[in-house]
Amino acid sequence: MMQPDQNPQPLLSVRDLKVRFGSKQVVHGVSFDVRAGEKLALVGESGSGKTVTALSLLRLVGEAQLSGQALFDGRDLLALTEREMRGVRGGDIAMIFQEPMTALNPLMTVGAQVAEVLQLKQALSSQQAWAQAVELLAATGIPEPQRRAQSYPHQLSGGQRQRAMIAMALASRPKLLLADEPTTALDVTLRMQMLELLGDLQRQTGMALLLITHDLHLVRRFADRAVVMEHGVLVEQGPVAQLFEHPQHPYTEKLLHSQPEREVQAVDIAAPVVVQAQQLRVGYPVPLPGIKGWFSKGEFVAVQGVDVCLRQGQTLGVVGESGSGKSTLAQAILGLLPSQGELQITGQCWQQPAMRNTPANQALRRMVQVVFQDPFSSLSPRMTVEEIVGEGLRVHAPDISEAGRRTQVLEVLQSVGLSEQQFPGLLQRYPHEFSGGQRQRLAVARALILRPKVLVLDEPTSALDVTIQKQVLQLLQRLQRELGLSYLLITHDMDVIRAMAHEVMVMKNGQVVEAGSVEQVLQQPHHPYTQQLVQATL
């Protein structure tokens, strides 16, 4: 195993780094070292300056003004010419980004993208570069690398795209790899696989790794040392074990204690059932290769033989990796997909296909609403708060006067912790004027305006910082107690399941492989896949 270099001379030495955009300073005199073979985590919430700090090392911050010193192998990165920096970027220092779908070129195969780096950095012929590209894809764990090398990014899964990006980064044989939230877009099992892959590659090559993240589980399991940042200021740094056991700064303590706490009230076994599904099945038509005409389409079954029983005031967690069928199940319950089998909402069946806007289906839509994963993309940037939150009333209760609708909008905003006192002119504001946590409160208010019985929560906190996650979960717990809401909670975060759910279903390949109480399933998992999920979060 490659150990961090004990040489007193670090591979990278950052001293008094300051970054300014116009008149606003966003990084305030940050100093830290990275040694060869070391895994250093740069930790902080959104806006802490951690990503800007890392990008500054590669001079990828546009017109920002940089000052200080960043010595890498004896050269000051901040003093190099742009021509000299081109030799550093993607060479001695490589970077993998948070979202590979947007970082990879959609018009080139992944093999061609890896080969391009090899040709640029190692002066290989096109044949040599292609052969090495396939070897790198194989080394990162992509199955059938020869075939996958000829695939475009959209034809790969999220985990495979991230592996392809790692292969591109390794193609230049870097001494330092910057990894910006490399597992955020992945489900829990893929996260563990990616961490193990990065750890193995780092040990084999001896490169140093600078990990930018807000995930404390990842830091605890993976990093040697950590640097904690808040509002552009380095507040604490040291060995990971020391930081977790004896944090010195209040902000570090706040991060460590931001894990959600379990506040689940017992559910009356006589409470009415609000969602009932038996042998639910959802299939998608898919084209059959080489066949035309009437029989040209086959079927992909995304959900098969699933039973659901959700009572009033209960939270049912649904967990599983990408492609397990959990989101398809949620869409069927929401009436957004046609389904087979029995599916009742508050005792009434969807009139199939459920997407039809019949009077009966419209009435059911009021009963089951959804809060989406990303509050930054699920709220229209062109609509005011009043229009966003009141939209459901305009559709389902068009006879309500404008004054009556405004009153209901203000009441539901108050219930989620947003008021005119906090935000003068609240109703006429736009989503960009709010933080991520506040936007998710707006999304919850939009769902509650119709007074539903059921909320489908689709990864409701995964796009939020850890401290904001806790606040949103506490809000959802309070609303459930006060309003008797039932939640179908879709997530890959087992901490959220532990904090929120009464029951949990584990899905894999469209089927439920294990179900039961949270205590039973998480403490004594029986199915190998459930055991893998639980182990990945310990």
Q: Give the distance between the most distant pair of CA atoms in the chain.
A: 75
Domain that holds residue 121: 106-173
Top pLDDT among 474 and 182 is at: 474
pLDDT of 6 > 60? The answer is no
Q: Last residue of a domain, which of 143, 173, 203?
A: 173
Looking at the structure, tell me whether residues 371 and 226 fall in a common domain. Answer: no
Q: What is the pLDDT of residue 1?
A: 42
Looking at the structure, tell me whether residues 299 and 342 fall in a common domain. Answer: yes
Top pLDDT among 533 and 512 is at: 512
Q: What tens digit of pLDDT does each residue of 304-350 get?
A: 999 999 999 999 999 988 778 998 999 999 999 999 999 999 999 99
Cα 377 to chain centroid distance, Å, stands at 13
pLDDT of 99 > 80? The answer is no
Looking at the structure, tell me whether residues 191 and 155 fall in a common domain. Answer: no
What percentage of residues in the chain have a pLDDT greater than 70?
96
- Spatial distance between the Cα atoms of 371 and 442, rounded to a whole number of angstroms: 10
283 part of a folded domain: yes
- Spatial distance between the Cα atoms of 397 and 380, rounded to a whole number of angstroms: 21
97 part of a folded domain: no
Task: Name 458's bridge partners.
Answer: 490
Looking at the structure, tell me whether residues 115 and 131 fall in a common domain. Answer: yes
Q: What is the pLDDT of residue 257?
A: 84
* Joined tokens for residue 335: 């009436």
* Joined tokens for residue 278: 């038996």
Q: Last residue of a domain, which of 194, 227, 257?
A: 257
Q: 131: which residues sit within 8 A by CB, 6+ positions away?
A: none
Looking at the structure, tell me whether residues 136 and 245 fall in a common domain. Answer: no
pTM: 0.80
Looking at the structure, tell me whether residues 237 and 304 fall in a common domain. Answer: no
Q: pLDDT class for 260, splitting at 50, 70, 90?
A: confident
238 part of a folded domain: yes
DSSP letter for 155, please.
G
Q: pLDDT class for 290, splitting at 50, 70, 90?
A: low
Contact 29, 14 (CB under 8 A): no
- Proportion of the chain in helix, strand, coil states, percent, rounded to 5: 40, 25, 35
Q: Amino acid letter at 392?
A: G
* Joined tokens for residue 42: 């740069």
Q: What is the DSSP string of 255-288?
A: HHT-SPPP--PPPPTTSPEEEEEEEEEEEEEEEP
pLDDT of 239 > 60? The answer is yes
Both ends of the chain: CA-CA distance in Å? 23
DSSP letter for 89, please.
B
Q: What tens digit of pLDDT does each residue of 54-87 get?
A: 999 999 998 899 999 999 999 999 999 999 999 8
Looking at the structure, tell me whether residues 494 and 466 fall in a common domain. Answer: yes
3-state secondary structure 175-239: CEEEEECCCCCCCHHHHHHHHHHHHHHHHHHCCEEEEEECCHHHHHHHCCEEEEEECCEEEEEEE
Q: What b/e sequence results for 357-373 when a residue is b if at least 16 CB atoms lie within 10 Å of its CB, and e otherwise?
A: eeeebeebbbbbbbbbb
Contact 462, 496 (CB under 8 A): no
Using a 10 angstrom Cβ sphere, with 0-12 exposed, 13-18 middle and 19 or more buried, the burial of residue 81 is exposed
Nearest to 421 by CA among 437, 436, 410, 408: 410
Nearest to 343 by CA among 335, 359, 272, 327: 335
Q: What is the DSSP string of 389-400?
A: HHHHHHHH-TTS
53 part of a folded domain: yes
Edge-to-edge strand ranges of the sheet holding 65-72: 24-34, 12-21, 65-72, 75-76
What is the count of structural domains for the chain? Answer: 3
Q: What tens digit of pLDDT does each residue of 108-147 get?
A: 999 999 999 999 888 899 999 999 999 999 988 888 999 9
Looking at the structure, tell me whether residues 348 and 240 fall in a common domain. Answer: no
Q: Last residue of a domain, which of 146, 173, 200?
A: 173
Q: Which of 102-106, 215-219, 383-387, 397-401 has the lowest mean pLDDT?
A: 215-219
Looking at the structure, tell me whether residues 479 and 517 fall in a common domain. Answer: yes
Give the pairing of strands 340-345 and 315-319: unpaired
Looking at the structure, tell me whether residues 345 and 423 fall in a common domain. Answer: yes
Q: Any idea what the Cα angle at residue 426 is, between residues 421 and 431, rounded to 5°?
A: 135
pLDDT of 46 > 90? The answer is no
Nearest to 325 by CA among 311, 343, 305, 344: 305
Cα 504 to chain centroid distance, Å, stands at 20
* Joined tokens for residue 14: 């950052």
For residues 471-490, average pLDDT:
94
CATH number at residue 185: 3.40.50.300
Task: Name 487's bridge partners.
Answer: 315, 455
Looking at the structure, tell me whether residues 336 and 278 fall in a common domain. Answer: yes
- Spatial distance between the Cα atoms of 386 and 428, rounded to a whole number of angstroms: 6
pLDDT of 410 > 60? The answer is yes
100 part of a folded domain: no
Q: What is the pLDDT of residue 92?
A: 93
3 part of a folded domain: no
Looking at the structure, tell me whether residues 429 and 354 fall in a common domain. Answer: yes
pLDDT of 103 > 80? The answer is yes
pLDDT, the chain, mean: 90
For residues 237-265, average pLDDT:
89
Nearest to 130 by CA among 155, 102, 100, 109: 109
3-state secondary structure 2-62: CCCCCCCCCCEEEEEEEEEECCEEEEEEEEEEECCCCEEEEECCCCCCHHHHHHHHCCCCC
1 part of a folded domain: no
111 part of a folded domain: yes
Q: What is the DSSP string of 408-459?
A: HHHHHHHHTT--TTTSTTGGG--GGGS-HHHHHHHHHHHHHTT--SEEEEES
